[in-house]
Structure 1
Amino acid sequence: MNRATSISISSSSSSSSSSYFHFLRLLSSSSSSSPTIIIPTRPFPDYSPKKPSIQDTLFVSQLLSSLHSLHHPNPNNLSLLLKPYHSKFKHSHLIWVLMDIKYHSQLVFDFFHWAHLRTHPSLESLCILIHISVSSNHLNMAYNLLFQYWDTKKSNLFYDDLTRFTHKLIYTYKYWGSDPNVFDLFFNVLVQVGLFLEARQLFHKLLPYGVLVSLDSCNLFLTRLSNEYPQMAITVFNEYPQMGVCWNTMSYNIILHCLCQLGKIREAHNLLIQMEFKGILSDVVSYGTVITGYCRIGELGKVFKLMEEMQRKGFKPNKYIYNNIISLLCKHGAILEAQRVMEEMKINRVFPDNVVYTTLISGFCKCGNVLPASKMFDEMCRMKIVPDSVAYTSMLHGFCQTGKVVEARRLFAEMLSRGLEPDEVTYTALIDGYCKAGEMKEAFSLHNQMVHKGLSPNVVTYTALVDGLCKQGEVDVANELLHEMANKGLQPNIYTYNTLINGLCKIGNIVQAVKIMEEMDMAGFYPDTVTYTTLMDAYCKMGEMAKAHELLRTMLSKGLQPTIVTFNVLMNGFCMSGMLEDGERLMKWMLEKGVKPNATTFNSLMKQYCIRNDMRATTDIYKGMHTQGVMPDKNTYNILIKGHCKARNMKEAWYLYKEMVEKGFSLTAASYNALVKGFYKRKKFVEARKLFEEMRMKGFVAEKEIYDIFVDVNYDEGNWETTLQLCDEAIEKYLVQKT
């Protein structure tokens, strides 16, 4: 770059520079980047500069003689050569000199720089230099002269500035350059500096002269408008074809994105369909944009329909599309389907990134299925994808929600060892885990550590601590914590109150819980469905179904709608009270009203029928569960396995056991005990021993009866070491721990 250029662009930003180089690449490589010449309705004016006086003519002639005598001009020797002309040089001389040397571009730039240091160039001379730069293919110089001028102008722009500049550029066009790219460059600069209204005005001002701004510049205009003024982008998109602009795939993709940003997903879908009818080829970006829009509004059906259509056309979904679909499926709770989509990604050689793994890990953890989340976390590490703080926090949350505080503590230590800084969410997840496990000392220690690091505990943190204290019966300490929270400017919210009420209900202090609910009303936090459901649950567990019904009526009278949790609480109450007929009537009423039961609803009924040893009724309910499209959960399998073992249906119990393991669910200690005893009684010793060893390996406690069985078996087989080991275990678990 020559010296003149480097000085003229001193105020240009780096972002403008990158945009400029992008524009130059388009200008040199794309056929659509040059302005289109259309039939003009107005000719470009002839250039007629002011005639110099005799004295000026003599001065310019002498100056030109000096310039022509310089064989190898450069800024330094030019300045020395022209020193005698310093005092008499005027800006009007500049144009007359340029008229003579306009085909010697390097000399033009050097002389302009010399003149610029002595007198401020006129608007006309600036436009002349821009024309010479473009026509001699010095686009860098032209772009930066334009950018510097308009970037400075935009903070103090007058209404006629664009008119004056455009007039001068048009006036000087015919004589000084006649290259229409100068107008495209001008339009591009106006867009880059954010003068969108001025860019639109320029577009229309050029049409009478037969100049149509290039498609690439129009696309740049659409892109910038879509980010800042999306409605104007749509207007321009609809308006410009009437002026002769023929939009391409990129143009349509910009507007598809724009419509989706505005929430007009169906309009975007219609535009995608119109592309085909208008002969515009859609691509993976077109489909990906609309698919992402439907993902944002949660329309799974439309998403999969578009995916099929896209793949029929031979387009391969990219990582961005897969990521959005997986995220949507996780939000809908369809975690297994999301996992299948990730497997499809791998088959198509689109490799999952940190975002995909973290989304799935979070999804599995939120639904309490930590085992597949943990496997995915390990796979992520094997694939050399480094988990970030979000991935660690998701796993921590999952472990804590399922009571696996030891694993959570280990993972937290690993996170710190990798140099990752936990935030408020991470600390709160672990504090909540400690509180749920009743380890309040550790919870408060972590709270203090959090404060020491400069992190501020939020309402969720305090709510977790309040919940833990209430569950331990320390209601007074919990109330003190609420006061401390208020003193720090954190107002308890409805979740805090609900947590306090839930904690009180858990320890059977319903009177105090009702009192807190009354205080909520006074504080302006009106009890919600969760509040009423929590109290109903407490009454149901106490067998006071009449009081639970009364609360339901109060709740309905206040316009609060019961949730599936509310119905599950009632169902559990009926079943625990032996009122199975009422439970079945509730199920029937739910189905009639379009309230879809979930696994917990069915589990309550199946559990009670299993207790009654009525496996036929249990099986009917299980079949009804599948008919309603409700997937069994961990509790479903454990209830059924124990029921079938009790009824000595070991073949069915074994089948269910294998199915639940395949789905990533784990047996409870009670289910292991039931299976081991069931198989032993049916003389299935291999299966019984396998399950016994498996439950010991997982740290579950076997019943004393089972220890007695396998002590005898190993003694009879002569396995003295195993016999002694089992004796020691039994003594430790059933004698030492009880004393």
Structure 2
Amino acid sequence: MKKGTTFAFRNFTQLFTLRSSLNARNLSTRPFPDYSPKRPSVRDTELVHQIANVIKLRRAEPLRRSLKPYECKFKTDHLIWVLMKIRSDYGLVLDFFEWARSRRDSTLEALCIVAHLAVACKDLEAARSMIRSFWERPKLSVADSFVQFFDLLVYTYKDWGSDPNVFDVFFQVLVEFGMLREARKVFEKMLNYGLVLSVDSCNLYLDRLSKESDEKAARVVGVFREFPEVGVCWNVASYNIVIHCVCRLGRVSEAHHLLVLMELKGYTPDVVSYSTVINGYCRFGELEKVWKLIKVMREKGLKPNSYTYGSIILWLCRSCKLDEAEEVFREMIRQGIVPDTVVYTTLIDGFCKGGNIRAASKLFHEMLSLDIAPDVLTYTAIISGFCRIGDMVEAGKLFHEMLCRGLEPDTVTFTEVINGYCKAGQMKDAFSVHNHMVQAGCSPNVVTYTTLIDGLCKEGDLDSANDLLHEMWKIGLQPNLFTYNSIVNGLCKAGNIEEAIKLVGEFEAAGLKPDTFTYTTLMDAYCKAGEMAKAQEILKEMLGRGLEPSVVTFNVLMNGFCLNGMLEDGEKLLNWMLAKGIAPNATTYNSLVKQYCIRDNLKAATSIYKDMCSREVGPDGKTYENLIRGHCKARNMKEAWFLYRGMVEKGFSVSASTYSALIKGFFKRKKFVEAREVFEQMKREGLAADKEILDFFSDSKYKGRRKTDTVVDPVDEIIENYLVDEELKEAN
């Protein structure tokens, strides 16, 4: 027999044995025992009689006052005897029980008795609270106390309540405390007495089991098949729990089969049933099956809800298909389904991560106009979006608005804002938010501290960064590799490469292995210091450790070759990358383009530019700026102007230095109209011209030109406006 067949046979045998055992128990039930408590002495009988009478006759008074004379004589044993006298008055039972256990530890037997009386009076919440209180107190052995508790519930059942719901409550508390093994034993023990748990209790067990580890959650289907054998009648909620669990385990086809089976068994699937399977298919990107299920839903008169569409939108956002996600969102609205906060937050977060902050902001204001209240996650998403693009003014406003709405930021929100300020170089604001975070009782985590340390290192404040590192240790937070990499980067930027190497050795000795970023940072430092041999040694060490270099690693090396005049080595590196299938990006090419332009070798620069375009590597703003400046320097204004127009059409921002290069180039070629046009565009962009540019316009030799040249017609106005702008800047 094959191994797989043997395993399946063993499982079937075990299941058959269990079912047979359960059925056997169901057929031969045992009776509940008679209750026979300890008998009181004559003296105890008298005291119990007095206490019971006082409780009944003086019920309007607080028990602490009416029973004051009996406190010193009252013992634990008296509790059950008094309960026997007042059991018909449930209100008195509760009051007396609370009075008694506030003065003496009540016995587990007494607790079971009161739980029975509470259930008999339909006060299930009180019974649940009493049973829960037992599990909340320290105990020596969970297993022993569980057996003892169950046995006493059985022992007191016949004479104190005879309501099987008490076992439901007991079972539910066990499930609530995660005692699933003990809960299963209760289920089996009850079968011995001919009792079956309610479907609600069994659903609670299924639900909790489905949220356990994958190994334990896999048992849900087995339980779902076994329990009906002993009388449990599942309902739609039961099927929904199992479908959700199976989807969570990635078995969506099986979940879909359960959906079909559910209907064949006479149950009517609801919106939750379909939406759960739809969510499962969305996780695997099977949208064709999703739309088919939605069609089936509508045919059955079920209307997809916000959760149904939300699953589709979430998958599309995670797949960066934001236009499709918004189209589904609009279709949802056309169907008359009002999106909830979760759906809006999903879309806002998707657009923010995709860099389209304008679309995210529009959605955020749309939800506000519809009175759909944003929550902490919504604000965190939109704030994070503005932080990413460096708009800390808007991010700060939203953060303040969030606080005014009474929403408490969590660690993620605070850290995002701190990170935004750090990247913007606004360390004072970053620490202000950090202080607010601490005062609000929200503990900064490793990411928060690493963000602050990274910001300080980039500002060159290594002493403060080191202080924060020691503060982390002091409060018990273990710095991670990102923390150390930030400090290594700071040391390298400060030119202290040897100290950076020493730190790498220290954190490696502590068990943290340097990664690609660590080595790339060290290489960059050596390249900028002109020590190319050492940079290449670092690369060899990195490769020797089995670490995969990134494009950034090669870009660092390329930049080093170019900075140190080793252009031939740079081209060799580029060709090696291409031969190895490592795709260079615009930054890789830019280093070569820039250096060839500086050396006035525009033929080589243009060749590199054409090569990158032929390989479908899109030029970025730096590529255009390098080429424009190179052509301007060589007075090739036709080529420079062509590149400038292409740069603008592609949406790249033009820097003041590039505008200046164009103006100077046009002036040198006596193209005054074009120079004036570029200058006006520069002013419209809010960029200030340098003194040399103004000298071009104010030079007297241009003022005497004929009117047709009109470049310098309003020269005085140009200079006056520029000077006014500069004075305003200085005043601010």
Q: Same-fold call, TM > 0.5?
A: yes
**Aligned residue identity for 1:428:** T
1:65-104 equivalences under 5 Å are: 76-77=84-85
Tell me what 2:596 maps to.
574
User: Does structure 1 retain, via aligned residues, the 8 Å contact 2:516–2:549?
Assistant: yes
Distance 1:410 1:611, change over 3 A: farther
Give CA-to-partner distance per residue, 1:64-95, whole Å, 9 cap, x none: xxxxxxxx9x9725999xxxxxxxxxxxxxxx
Q: In structure 1, how many angstroms separate the alpha carbons of the residues matched to 2:482 and 2:374?
A: 32
User: Does structure 1 retain, via aligned residues, the 8 Å contact 2:629–2:662?
Assistant: no
Q: In structure 2, how many angstroms separate the alpha carbons of the residues matched to 1:401 and 1:382?
A: 25
* 1:637 CA displacement: 4.3
User: Does structure 2 retain, via aligned residues, the 8 Å contact 1:330–1:363?
Assistant: yes
* 1:311 CA displacement: 1.9
Tell me what 1:312 maps to.
334
Tell me what 2:324 maps to.
302
User: Does structure 2 retain, via aligned residues, the 8 Å contact 1:610–1:618?
Assistant: yes
Q: In structure 2, how many angstroms separate the alpha carbons of the residues matched to 1:146 and 1:573?
A: 76
Q: In structure 2, how many angstroms separate the alpha carbons of the residues matched to 1:610 and 1:381?
A: 52
Give CA-to-partner distance per residue, 1:651-680, whole Å, 9 cap, x none: 65455555x57xxxxx5x766996899699
Q: In structure 2, how many angstroms separate the alpha carbons of the residues matched to 1:361 and 1:405?
A: 18
1:226-305 equivalences under 5 Å are: 226=247, 231=252, 233-261=255-283, 264=286, 267-305=289-327
Q: In structure 2, how many angstroms separate the alpha carbons of the residues matched to 1:265 and 1:602?
A: 41
Work out whether 1:695 is the aligned partner of 2:695.
Answer: no
**Aligned residue identity for 2:310:** G
Q: In structure 2, how many angstroms separate the alpha carbons of the residues matched to 1:644 and 1:467?
A: 36
Tell me what 1:199 maps to.
224
Work out whether 1:642 is the aligned partner of 2:660.
Answer: yes
Work out whether 1:550 is the aligned partner of 2:572.
Answer: yes
Structure 1 residues 343-352 or 280-289, which shifts more?
A: 343-352
Give CA-to-partner distance per residue, 1:156-196, whole Å, 9 cap, x none: 9699959x9499569xxxxxxxxxxx975575466356465
Work out whether 1:215 is the aligned partner of 2:223.
Answer: no
* 1:552 CA displacement: 1.6
**Aligned residue identity for 1:631:** G
Tell me which of the two structures has the higher relative contact order, counting C-alpha pairs closer than 8 angstroms and 6 or more residues apart. 1
* 1:438 CA displacement: 2.8
Secondary structure of the equivalent of 1:684?
helix
Normalization by structure 2: what TM-score? Answer: 0.65
* 1:562 CA displacement: 1.6
Give CA-to-partner distance per residue, 1:582-631, whole Å, 9 cap, x none: 4444444434433333333333333434555666544433443465xx43
Tell me what 2:718 maps to.
684
Structure 1 residues 573-582 or 211-220, which shifts more?
A: 211-220
Aligned residues: 564
Tell me what 1:725 maps to.
none
Secondary structure of the equivalent of 2:717?
coil
Tell me what 1:504 maps to.
526
Q: In structure 1, how many angstroms separate the alpha carbons of the residues matched to 2:405 and 2:601?
A: 53
**Aligned residue identity for 2:335:** K
Q: In structure 2, how many angstroms separate the alpha carbons of the residues matched to 1:220 and 1:352?
A: 29
Work out whether 1:451 is the aligned partner of 2:473.
Answer: yes
Tell me what 2:498 maps to.
476
Work out whether 1:631 is the aligned partner of 2:647.
Answer: no
Q: In structure 2, how many angstroms separate the alpha carbons of the residues matched to 1:672 and 1:417?
A: 50
Distance 1:372 1:674, change over 3 A: farther
User: Does structure 2 retain, via aligned residues, the 8 Å contact 1:471–1:503?
Assistant: yes
Distance 1:193 1:305, change over 3 A: closer
* 1:690 CA displacement: 4.0
* 1:325 CA displacement: 1.7
Q: In structure 2, how many angstroms separate the alpha carbons of the residues matched to 1:358 and 1:463?
A: 26
Distance 1:371 1:653, change over 3 A: farther
Q: In structure 2, how many angstroms separate the alpha carbons of the residues matched to 1:148 and 1:456?
A: 37
Secondary structure of the equivalent of 1:340?
helix
Give CA-to-partner distance per residue, 1:326-370, whole Å, 9 cap, x none: 222233233333333323333333344433333344334445555
Tell me what 1:356 maps to.
378
1:409-420 equivalences under 5 Å are: 409=431, 411-412=433-434, 415-416=437-438, 420=442
Work out whether 1:440 is the aligned partner of 2:462.
Answer: yes
Secondary structure of the equivalent of 1:687?
helix
Kindly report the root-mean-square deviation, in angstroms, between the aligned alpha carbons of the 2 structures. Answer: 4.6
**Aligned residue identity for 1:684:** I
Is there any run of 5+ residues in structure 2 with no aligned partner, and where?
1-25, 32-55, 57-81, 89-119, 125-149, 210-219, 667-671, 699-713
Return the match for 2:642 from 604, 620, 625. Answer: 620
Give CA-to-partner distance per residue, 1:425-453, whole Å, 9 cap, x none: 23322322332233333333333333333
Is there any run of 5+ residues in structure 1 with no aligned partner, and where?
1-46, 53-71, 81-104, 110-115, 134-139, 171-181, 662-666, 699-739
Distance 1:293 1:317, change over 3 A: same
Q: In structure 2, how many angstroms separate the alpha carbons of the residues matched to 1:149 and 1:403?
A: 53
Q: In structure 2, how many angstroms separate the alpha carbons of the residues matched to 1:538 and 1:432?
A: 24
Distance 1:587 1:370, change over 3 A: farther
User: Does structure 2 retain, via aligned residues, the 8 Å contact 1:226–1:258?
Assistant: yes
Distance 1:160 1:480, change over 3 A: closer
1:145-164 equivalences under 5 Å are: 154-155=181-182
User: Does structure 2 retain, via aligned residues, the 8 Å contact 1:672–1:691?
Assistant: no
* 1:243 CA displacement: 1.6
Give CA-to-partner distance per residue, 1:356-395, whole Å, 9 cap, x none: 3333443344455555545544554565655544344334
Q: In structure 2, how many angstroms separate the alpha carbons of the residues matched to 1:79 and 1:409?
A: 63
* 1:497 CA displacement: 0.8
Tell me what 2:449 maps to.
427
* 1:534 CA displacement: 0.5
Tell me what 1:34 maps to.
none
Structure 1 residues 310-319 or 351-360, which shifts more?
A: 351-360
Work out whether 1:604 is the aligned partner of 2:626.
Answer: yes
User: Does structure 2 retain, via aligned residues, the 8 Å contact 1:443–1:465?
Assistant: yes
**Aligned residue identity for 1:453:** I
Q: In structure 1, how many angstroms separate the alpha carbons of the residues matched to 2:153 and 2:488?
A: 76
What percent of counterpart residues are identical?
Answer: 26
Tell me what 1:393 maps to.
415
Give CA-to-partner distance per residue, 1:301-336, whole Å, 9 cap, x none: 331221121122122322211222222223323333
Q: In structure 1, how many angstroms separate the alpha carbons of the residues matched to 2:208 and 2:454?
A: 50
User: Does structure 2 retain, via aligned residues, the 8 Å contact 1:191–1:224?
Assistant: no
Distance 1:614 1:688, change over 3 A: farther
* 1:576 CA displacement: 3.1
Tell me what 2:364 maps to.
342
User: Does structure 2 retain, via aligned residues, the 8 Å contact 1:505–1:534?
Assistant: yes
Tell me what 1:733 maps to.
none
* 1:222 CA displacement: 3.8
Distance 1:567 1:275, change over 3 A: farther
Secondary structure of the equivalent of 1:291?
helix
Tell me what 1:325 maps to.
347
Structure 1 residues 486-495 or 363-372, which shifts more?
A: 363-372
Distance 1:521 1:402, change over 3 A: same
**Aligned residue identity for 1:219:** N
* 1:491 CA displacement: 1.6
Tell me what 1:27 maps to.
none
Q: In structure 1, how many angstroms separate the alpha carbons of the residues matched to 2:525 and 2:358?
A: 33
* 1:474 CA displacement: 2.1
